[in-house]
């Protein structure tokens, strides 16, 4: 047992070293997927600012809950500044495939510049347009093993077009594929317009079911018991936004980032859609 544990530790150190020096990671025979993921999360390709948020976003535990494997075809939805992209890109580079579905306009232009600036890290990423109104394909139909969306659903609910996004995800996933959703979780009655930025689990589940998904599991990985979800400027009152500026800043900093729902949906294996 001791020899086995030492071997696992040695593999973790080796992978961590490759990440720290910017070397490509080879998913060696017998290497634990969790050790690889933890090494990448600790890697030098991530900024100190991003790593500081790990205590709220729990990237290792979240991605493991969603079933991420190194040989998957994954679509990340609306990556914004690329917080999760910095983890997914090196993890999937050797064996998998990563699509980044980005809204049109400045977001798309900015993201293309970001990946062009670091071809060693992002060279294999396939950038697609996230535009359900035009029925744009975020990945070839029925090709994705896993689709991930982090704190985006409340924006779509506020705009009144959330249904079309879930339909887009359904088309891109393989039968049996997984949709992983993280969003701000309300502890108050549901607001159909998501004006506070928070959603109830029931709101998200209803959207997913309407598109054909089944709820497979939920997790409290990203829950925050200190967040009562009732704030004067909604979720944006809390870090990292601090919309109220210095007003009661220490109070909101002590609460931490928002309470979050972490939900795993599955596209049924037997489907004609």
pLDDT tens for 182-227 read: 999 999 999 999 999 999 999 999 999 999 999 999 999 999 999 9
pLDDT at residue 272, rounded to an integer: 53
Rounded to two decimals, the pTM is 0.88
Residue 270 has which token pair?
Answer: 């037997």
Task: Read off the pLDDT of residues 10-69 as tens digits, 9 standing for 90 and up.
Answer: 444 444 444 443 434 444 433 578 899 999 999 999 999 999 999 999 999 999 999 999
The CATH code belonging to domain 49-266 is 3.40.50.150
Cβ burial of 258 (10 Å; 0-12, 13-18, 19+) is buried
Residue 2 has which token pair?
Answer: 């001791």
The residue that leads in pLDDT, 22 or 267, is 267
pLDDT at residue 3, rounded to an integer: 43
Domain boundaries, the chain: 1-44, 49-266
Task: Read off the pLDDT of residues 102-145 as tens digits, 9 standing for 90 and up.
Answer: 999 999 999 999 999 999 999 999 999 999 999 999 999 999 99
Q: How far apart are the first and last CA of the chain?
A: 48
pLDDT at residue 271, rounded to an integer: 54
């Amino acid at each position: 047992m001791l020899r086995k544990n030492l071997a696992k530790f040695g593999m973790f150190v080796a992978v961590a070293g490759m990440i720290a020096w910017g070397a490509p990671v080879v998913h060696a025979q017998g290497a634990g997927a969790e050790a690889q993921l933890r090494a990448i999360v600790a890697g030098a390709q991530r900024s100190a600012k991003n790593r500081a948020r790990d205590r709220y976003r729990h990237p290792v535990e979240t991605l493991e809950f969603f079933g991420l494997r190194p040989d998957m075809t994954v679509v990340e939805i609306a990556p914004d500044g690329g917080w999760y992209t910095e983890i997914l890109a090196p993890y999937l580079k050797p064996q998998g495939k990563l699509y980044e579905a980005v809204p049109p306009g400045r977001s798309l232009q900015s993201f293309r510049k970001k990946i062009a600036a670091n071809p060693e890290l992002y060279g294999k990423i396939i950038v697609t347009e996230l535009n359900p109104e035009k029925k744009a394909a975020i990945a070839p139909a029925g090709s994705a093993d896993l689709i991930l969306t982090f704190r985006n659903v409340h924006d779509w609910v506020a705009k009144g077009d959330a249904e079309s996004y879930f339909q887009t995800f359904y088309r891109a996933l393989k039968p049996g594929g997984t949709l992983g959703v993280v969003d701000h979780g309300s502890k108050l009655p549901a607001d159909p317009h998501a004006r506070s930025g928070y959603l109830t689990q029931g709101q998200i589940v209803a959207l997913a079911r309407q598109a054909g998904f089944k709820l497979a599991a939920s997790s409290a990985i990203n829950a925050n018991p200190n967040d009562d979800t009732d704030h004067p400027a909604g979720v944006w009152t809390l870090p990292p936004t601090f919309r109220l500026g210095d007003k009661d800043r220490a109070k909101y900093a002590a609460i931490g980032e928002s309470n979050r729902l972490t939900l795993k949906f599955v596209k049924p294996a037997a489907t004609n859609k």
